[in-house]
């Protein structure tokens, strides 16, 4: 079964607006990561938040983690057309080893 599930599936906003994406997961985790993927390309790591952290910032990115609700959110502030991409959360299930499971992803389209 899929560990991470995201909403919305697709999001279309104007440049300068904020974009918020949510991720839910099912089992306990060591950490949660967010990745970005431009169309048909490899994934780029954005940010990692550990299970004992609640919020993390990196530039225009803000990630929150609520382990009691098994959910995370990614906020991109002051969006740009170049932010247009798919965004995936990925969980490192707390089972030992290297099994990373990706959520379904949110496709973000930022209109100039």
Partner 1 sequence: DTEVTQTPKHLVMGMTNKKSLKCEQHMGHRAMYWYKQKAKKPPELMFVYSYEKLSINESVPSRFSPECPNSSLLNLHLHALQPEDSALYLCASSHPGLAGGPVKNEQFFGPGTRLTVL
> How far, in Å, CA of 18 to CA of 95, rounded?
35
Per-residue x/- track, 64-103, partner 1 (CB under 8 A): ------------------------x---x---xxxxxxxx
Per-residue x/- track, 27-46, partner 1 (CB under 8 A): ---xx-x-x----xxxxxx-
> How far, in Å, CA of 7 to CA of 89, rounded?
11
Give the residue among 33, 4, 21 at the shortest CA–CA distance from 86.
21
Q: Is 105 an interacting residue with respect to partner 1 (CB under 8 A)?
A: yes
Report the chain's C-alpha Rg in angstroms. Answer: 13
Which residues sit at the interface with partner 1, rule CB under 8 A? Answer: 2, 30-31, 33, 35, 40-45, 48, 50-51, 88, 92, 96-105, 107
């Amino acid at each position: 079964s899929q560990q991470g599930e995201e909403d919305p599936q697709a999001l279309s906003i104007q440049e300068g607006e904020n974009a918020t994406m949510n991720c839910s997961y099912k089992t306990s985790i060591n950490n949660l990561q967010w990745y970005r993927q431009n169309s048909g390309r490899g994934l780029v790591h954005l940010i990692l938040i550990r299970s004992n952290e609640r919020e993390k910032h990196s530039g225009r990115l803000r990630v929150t983690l609520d382990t009691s609700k098994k959910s995370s959110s990614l906020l991109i502030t002051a969006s740009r057309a170049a932010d247009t991409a798919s965004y995936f959360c990925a969980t490192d299930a707390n089972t030992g080893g290297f099994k990373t499971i990706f959520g379904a992803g949110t496709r973000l389209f930022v209109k100039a």
